[in-house]
Structure formats: C-alpha cells, structure tokens
Amino acid sequence: MPKYQIICIKGKEWSVITTVDSKREAREWIERNRDKYPHCRLNFIREGFEPIL
C-alpha cells in the first residue's frame, strides 16, 4: 500500500511534514494537528505524486 505524505502548502510552495501509512491516518492526522499549523493549508498526497496547487 502506498504511503501518504502530510504536506504544508503556502501559496505555490509546499513541504512534507510527515509520512503516514494510510489515507485514513492522513485524514486523522490533519484533524488532530490543524491548529499546530495555522499558517499552512494542510493536505495529503500519495508518495511520489505532486499536489494540485
């Protein structure tokens, strides 16, 4: 199964915060940690893919 990267998007820039094992984990991680990254638009992508900006 592919891993999912939690990413922080700021305008046209993005960076990987962490990697999780499933889509469900990715959704839950974002829900738990949204407040810790107020300056980011949090999203997740499969490893090896590019986000849609």
Say how far apart CA 13 and CA 8 lie, in whole Å. 8
Termini Cα distance of the chain: 25
Task: Indicate whether 51 belongs to the interface with another protein (CB under 8 A).
Answer: yes
9-28 positions binding another protein, by CB under 8 A: 12, 22-23, 26-27
**In the numeric block, which tokens belong to residue 2?**
């592919």
Q: How far is the CB of 32 from another protein (least distance, A)?
A: 14
Q: Contact positions toward another protein, by CB under 8 A?
A: 1-2, 4, 12, 22-23, 26-27, 30, 42-46, 49-53
